[in-house]
């Protein structure tokens, strides 16, 4: 038995030595090679690609693709006219900010009854495309908001909110709801919150995205707001659910500018 063990051990060592020798030889040979020509070409991965799909891979992908296509092509509701963005306000930003405030207040009513959402804000840059006229589908919401941002609620003093409005005014306006103000010399004037003059000593709750609340898109003024509540709801999912409810009720969406933000002379 001892002989066999010794024999096997020596055999293993011999084979290992041979493998090491081969690796060294190959490495040495590789280092002696010289690249004499390099060729490349661009392959566009779009509808112009003519390579036939692999049948086996396609058979695996097709069921999932069909499910996804069915889900993203669901018609949520209908829009009377296309909703376009712009500043200082626009139909698109007004509609989205109103939706965020309404749905956020509904979430608070169920989960955080001590919180009432006074105002909301969506940034113009975060709304990537208009809402189309006619059928509004799930895929339109993914194109509108191709991010995984979640809704958060910030507890702000009136002084903090005033600074935030000045910040938005300096940027030419954003999507807001529950507030009105004019823009003069890059600052906010005549600030109203739910129809009443902004009170520096009062506490207000702002609904926005976690991205903006953490200072995204230049909103550093919000980073210092320490008291905040996460809804746990994705902004896009909130929009999809809201539009689906409107569609089930037969409501056709439309929005207008109403002077909530205006250029003051």
| Structural domains present in the chain | 71-259 (3.90.780.10)
Q: How many CB atoms lie within 10 A of CB 234?
A: 17
The 8-class DSSP code of residue 76 comes to: E
- Is the pLDDT at 22 greater than 70, yes or no? no
Q: What ranges make up the beta strands (E) of 44-195? A: 75-79, 119-122, 134-137, 150-157, 175-177, 179-184, 187-193
Regarding beta strands 261-263 and 175-177, do their DSSP bridges make them parallel or antiparallel, or are they unpaired? unpaired
29 pLDDT tier (thresholds 50, 70, 90):
low
- Is the pLDDT at 23 greater than 60, yes or no? no
The residue to which tokens 């996460």 are assigned: 230
Interval 123-180: pLDDT, tens: 999 999 999 999 999 999 999 999 999 999 999 999 999 999 999 999 999 999 999 9
Mean pLDDT over the full length of the chain: 88
- Is the pLDDT at 8 greater than 50, yes or no? no
pLDDT at 6: 41
**Mean pLDDT in residue range 207-211:** 96
- Is the pLDDT at 117 greater than 90, yes or no? yes
Report the b/e string of 13-30 with b at 16+ CB within 10 A.
eeeeeeeeeeeeeeeeee
1 pLDDT tier (thresholds 50, 70, 90):
very low
């Amino acid at each position: 038995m001892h002989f066999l063990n010794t024999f096997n051990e020596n055999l293993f060592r011999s084979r290992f030595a041979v493998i090491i020798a081969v690796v060294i030889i190959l490495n040495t040979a590789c280092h002696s090679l010289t690249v004499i020509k390099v060729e490349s070409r661009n392959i566009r991965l779009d509808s112009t690609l003519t390579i036939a799909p692999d049948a086996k891979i396609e058979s695996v992908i097709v069921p999932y693709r069909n499910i996804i296509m069915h889900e993203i092509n669901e018609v949520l509701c209908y829009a009377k006219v296309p909703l376009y963005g712009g500043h200082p306000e626009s139909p698109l930003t007004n509609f989205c900010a109103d939706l965020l405030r309404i749905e956020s207040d509904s979430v608070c009513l169920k989960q955080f009854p001590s919180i009432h959402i006074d105002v909301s804000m969506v940034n113009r840059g975060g709304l990537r495309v208009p809402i189309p006229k006619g059928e509004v589908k799930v895929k339109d919401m993914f194109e509108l908001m191709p991010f995984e941002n979640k809704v958060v609620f910030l507890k702000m003093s009136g002084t903090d909110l005033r600074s935030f409005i000045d910040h938005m005014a300096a940027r030419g306006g954003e999507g807001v709801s529950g507030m009105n103000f004019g823009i003069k010399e890059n600052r906010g004037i005549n600030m109203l919150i739910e129809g009443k003059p902004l009170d520096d000593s009062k506490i207000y709750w702002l609904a926005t995205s976690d991205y903006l609340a953490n200072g995204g898109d230049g909103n550093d003024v919000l980073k210092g707001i320490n008291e905040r509540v996460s809804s746990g709801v994705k902004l896009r999912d909130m929009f999809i659910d809201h539009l689906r409810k409107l569609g089930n009720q037969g409501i056709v969406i439309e929005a207008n500018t109403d002077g909530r933000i205006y250029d003051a002379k």
